[in-house]
Amino acid sequence: MSTRIPLSSRQQLVPQIIKSHRRKDTDGLSAWLLLIWVAGSIPQGTYLVVQNINIPLIVQPQLFSTFAIIAMAQCWHYSHGIALRKCIAAGVVTGAVAGGLETAFYFLCKLGQDRGTSAATKTMGIVGAVLIVLGLVPQYYEIWRWREVKGISLWFLAIDCAGGVFSLLSLVFKAEFDGIAAANYIGIVVLELGIFALYFTLNPRAERRRQELPSEATTESTALQQGAEETPDWSRHTTLEKPPQEHTT
């Protein structure tokens, strides 16, 4: 198996970052999705390093976590109006904390292996897999809230989904198949395909609703105008208003 990092591993969240930057808007993109992914990348990265699965899969969560922090900072800035400097500072602190925790977990797992137990390593793998998969749940809430798929980049989903498929296939070339990593990639692929299905189902309906709104507003405005023209002069005044006085000479 080649040890070069696949394109999908290097650039998963880049389309999302570019889209948010160009639109200066992250409505519909869940910041909780990104935060949970950052948290999940810590034990997942620890597990992959300790298991020494292969170079692409070891590097992937590190880059993915970095890009997730950038995308999360964009959500803070664009959707919540937090100052750019504060977002950058918070992103740097988040990255430093994540790196420190992963390093600590690595030595903890190695210590357990030296004592003849792999419980800590397996726990890291399971927790990381669960968090990465569960991270997509808040995005489904955003889809339900907006009644359409918006904010999240479809290019990102396509690249990430393809990365999950190729990562799953790469496990076949290992001497011992890793069920935990396989379950992680399968869960991600299934949930991301679900978002694609919702996009093709909900977005056409949302577009039709947007097209109907101007016509309904025009119809209502026309009806009000016609009603005003047909209203007698005496009925245009409320009882609290004085009708116009006729001046006699």
Domain boundaries, the chain: 10-210
What is the model's pLDDT at position 29? 93
Select from 138, 193, 139 the least CA-distant residue to 165.
Answer: 193
What is the model's pLDDT at position 215? 62
pLDDT tens, the chain, 249 aa long: 333 334 344 456 888 999 999 999 999 999 999 999 999 999 988 988 888 877 777 888 888 899 999 999 999 999 989 999 999 999 999 999 999 999 999 999 999 888 888 889 889 988 988 898 899 999 999 999 999 999 999 988 888 888 888 888 888 877 777 777 788 788 889 999 999 999 999 999 999 988 887 765 555 556 556 655 554 554 444 444 555 555 555
Q: Spell out where the chain has E strands.
A: none
Report which secondary-structure segment, H or E, holds 47.
Answer: helix 31-51
What is the model's pLDDT at position 11? 56
- 55 by Cβ neighbours in 10 Å (0-12 / 13-18 / 19+) ranks as middle
- Cα 6 to chain center, whole Å? 22
C-beta separation of 56 from 4 below 8 A: yes
Q: Which residues contact 147 (CB under 8 A, 6 or more apart)?
A: 202, 205, 206
**Distance between CA atoms of 66 and 120, rounded to whole angstroms?**
24
What is the model's pLDDT at position 225? 61
**Distance between CA atoms of 161 and 168, rounded to whole angstroms?**
11
For tokens 């999950």, what's the residue? 164
Length of the chain: 249
What is the model's pLDDT at position 4? 35
Residue 177: HSE in the Cβ half-sphere, 13 Å Cα cutoff: 6
Neighbours of 154 (CB within 10 A): 14
What is the model's pLDDT at position 7? 39
**Distance between CA atoms of 178 and 53, rounded to whole angstroms?**
9
**Distance between CA atoms of 88 and 94, rounded to whole angstroms?**
10
pTM recorded for the entire structure:
0.75
Token pair belonging to 2: 């080649």
What is the model's pLDDT at position 220? 57
**Distance between CA atoms of 52 and 43, rounded to whole angstroms?**
14
